[in-house]
Amino acid sequence: MADQNVRNAGFTPSGITGGSLASSLMSQEARASGGGVRSGGPTSTLQEMGAKGTTHSSGYTSSGISGGSRASDTMSKEATAHGGGVPRGGTTSTVQSISMGGKGGRR
């Protein structure tokens, strides 16, 4: 289900769907970073997963983040960089939210 949620949000094997949650997230992220979407950020991570169908195998599941997974590693690095917490709108919270059918951690 997580992979389908990511695709439903507009992250597909053929790219980001215009007018979708994905395109809105990409636009917000690009504006916030001065015009580009960074590698490892929410948009690039979700697009990679949407193209490959790897959300669940990466550790973003409907039960939460799997220990020892790519998602767990991302969450740990993000928490360390932000003094112990995972920021709303960051990669971990946004990918987990969308993989569960949510709208991501809006800034």
How does pLDDT run across 24-73, given as a tens digit for each residue? Answer: 999 999 998 898 898 888 999 999 988 988 887 889 888 889 999 999 99
In a domain, 30, yes or no: yes
Range of the domain at 28: 1-100
The mean predicted confidence, pLDDT, of the chain is 88
Please give the pLDDT value at position 77: 92
Please give the pLDDT value at position 105: 62
In a domain, 84, yes or no: yes
In a domain, 105, yes or no: no
In a domain, 32, yes or no: yes
Number of domains composing the chain: 1
Q: What is the mean pLDDT of residues 5-26?
A: 93
Statement: the pTM of the whole predicted model exceeds 0.85: no
Please give the pLDDT value at position 3: 85
Q: Are strands 11-12 and 15-16 parallel, antiparallel or unpaired?
A: antiparallel
Distance CA 68, CA 21 (A): 29
Distance CA 21, CA 46 (A): 11
In a domain, 106, yes or no: no
List CB contacts of 45: < 8 A, sequence separation 6 or more: 74, 91, 95
In a domain, 107, yes or no: no
In a domain, 48, yes or no: yes
Residue 107: is its pLDDT beyond 60?
no
Please give the pLDDT value at position 18: 95
Residue 80: is its pLDDT beyond 60?
yes
